Structure 1
Amino acid sequence: MSEKHVFITEVEALKEEFKGRTNYWMCRPEVCDLKGLQVCRAVLPAGEGHPFHTHPELEEVIYVLEGKVEQWVEDSARILSPGETAAIPAGVVHATFNPTDEDAVILAILSPGSSEGPFAVDVSDQEPWKSLRGQA
């Protein structure tokens, strides 16, 4: 095994600009040899986020590294601070928003490392999701 497959720097990560945030894929099949995990460090700028979506085949843990996020799991929301997590089963609708005026940084850990179907399905334009956040 080469050293690159063991130690991955942010420079070596797969960088993705996506809907108002920057994702750094630190672990996924394109980056390292691990097959069972995906790890993404995501920077959520002030006021931005990842609208309501689901990962049909992937479980996910969202761990807050810096700042605060408004984390939704189905129709429940909670403000998460550094060191706090949300555990999301496969197929469950969720969303992550940064309601503050400073960047928030999260670590998203997904399993398995790949899936047969779509990675994510955006449901933010469907009810109840498109109007749910206004009710929080």
Structure 2
Amino acid sequence: MTKRRYFIRAGEVPGYHPANHVGTLNRRLIGRETVGAEQLEVLLGVIEKGKGALPHAHPGIEQVCYMLEGRARAEVAGEVCELGPGDCCFFPPDQQHTFTVLSDEPVKVLVIYAPPYEENPDRVIRPA
């Protein structure tokens, strides 16, 4: 039997480049494969200057972004906001959104999905 881990160090989690994002490296901290979480997913994203998420939405999935470092511009449902450390935003299910780094330094952002997104192509809607 494999011992389950409940404590995660970001540097021990492999990074990946998410679909529909540019200049982004994510690490899935909390998920099925790390701790067995089934109802939510937590990622650490590092995004380069001027890069980010292209317009898209997640059917049936809520998303929260909590800013750790840097500055970014988020847009959802016609609302636009500049975010910095300590700020967060909510992307409702099925609502198209974008996220773009404004600062010279990379953005570090904690991203939470409920239910888990898991980089499943069936869980993203891109504009036609």
TM-score range normalised by the length of the shorter chain: 0.7 to 0.9
* Contact 1:35 1:114 (C-alpha < 8 Å) held by counterparts: no
* Contact 1:36 1:114 (C-alpha < 8 Å) held by counterparts: no
Residue 109 of structure 1, CA deviation: 0.4
TM-score by length of 2: 0.85
Name the CA distance, whole Å, in 1 between partners of 2:14 and 2:116: 14
1:14–1:74 distance in 2 versus 1, CA, 3 Å: farther
Aligned residues with identical type, % of pairs: 25
SS in 1 for 2:10: coil
Name the CA distance, whole Å, in 2 between partners of 1:100 and 1:11: 23
TM-score by length of 1: 0.81
Q: Name structure 2 gaps, 5 residues minimum.
A: none
Residue 95 of structure 1, CA deviation: 0.9
> Does residue 43 of structure 1 match 2:29?
no
Q: Name structure 1 gaps, 5 residues minimum.
A: 127-136
Offset from partner CA, 1:9-38 (integer Å, 9 cap, x none): 123324212331100110111222111111
Structure 1 runs, 4 residues or longer, greater than 3 Å off = 114-117
SS in 2 for 1:118: helix
> Does residue 118 of structure 1 match 2:122?
yes
Name the CA distance, whole Å, in 2 between partners of 1:26 and 1:43: 13
Offset from partner CA, 1:47-92 (integer Å, 9 cap, x none): 1111111010210111111011101112221101111111121111
Name the CA distance, whole Å, in 2 between partners of 1:103 and 1:117: 26
Aligned length in residues? 123
